A = this chain, B = another copy of it.
Amino acid sequence: MAPLDPDTARTRLLDAAEDLFYARGIQAVGMDDIRGGSGVSLKRLYSLYPAKEQLVEAYLQRRDVRWRGRLAAFVEQVDDPRERVLAVFDWLGTWFREPGFRGCAWINGHGELGATSDVVARLAREHKLAFADYVAGLVREAGLPEALAPQVFLLAEGAMVAAGILGTDAPAAQAHAAAEVLVSSFAA
């Protein structure tokens, strides 16, 4: 067995961490599960991430980049700036329909460890602020009033929670309809 170079070991670890942490919750996954899921030895795991919390941090950071990247890629396919705001909810719908969807990783992580782990609490806050900022940018570019941004953000958060807990994708369409009313209430 050829020794694994650090980069691919890191990738495999984060892949396994993301699968397992997201599907089962962070506390329900042991380091040994990560080892089994990644094929990377425990020794190497601990040499790359000296404690579980650091693996969790890396997992959430990588997922944040990817999640916001996928959202932005989807939204940018839409031309009309006002439609872009609404496209956020179309993206949520496709996300909710993905097999294995279990709600928002940061909402879940915050519920699990927000009171215990400063790192998780901070990453959840940062992720939500970044998402809220992104929405605010879309609203601004659509020439809509700034007060609309947090409203759209709250609709999106509510849709994530409801879809995660109730196990249905209906909240995407419902939030979309609500956002449509909000946006068009400011139509020229």
Residue positions of A touching B, CB distance < 8 A: 23-25, 27-28, 102-103, 106-116, 121, 124-125, 128-129, 147, 150-151, 153-162, 164-167, 170-171, 174-175, 177-178, 181-182, 185
Give the CA-CA distance A111 to B27 in the complex, in Å: 11
Contacts of A150 in B (CB 8 A): 170-171, 174
Contacts of A158 in B (CB 8 A): 153-159, 161
Looking at chain A's contact residues, the main secondary structure is: helix
**Copies of this chain, whole number:** 2
Contacts of A25 in B (CB 8 A): 111-116
In whole Å, how far is A36's beta carbon from the nearest beta carbon of chain B? 18
Give 4 A-B pairs besides A23-B115, A28-B115, A147-B177 with Cβ atoms closer than 8 angstroms: A106-B165, A125-B165, A154-B175, A181-B182
Closest to A27 in B: B27
Q: Are B161 and A157 in contact (CB under 8 A)?
A: yes
In whole Å, how far is A2's beta carbon from the nearest beta carbon of chain B? 35
Give the CA-CA distance A109 to B156 in the complex, in Å: 20
Give the CA-CA distance A131 to B166 in the complex, in Å: 12
Do A177 and B165 contact each other (CB < 8 Å), given the known contacts A110-B111, A182-B182? no
Do A115 and B102 contact each other (CB < 8 Å), given the known contacts A155-B178, A161-B161, A182-B178? yes
Contacts of A125 in B (CB 8 A): 165-167
Question: Which of B112, B128, B162 touches A165 (beta carbons < 8 Å)?
Answer: B128
Contacts of A178 in B (CB 8 A): 151, 154-155, 178, 182
Q: Are B110 and A164 in contact (CB under 8 A)?
A: yes
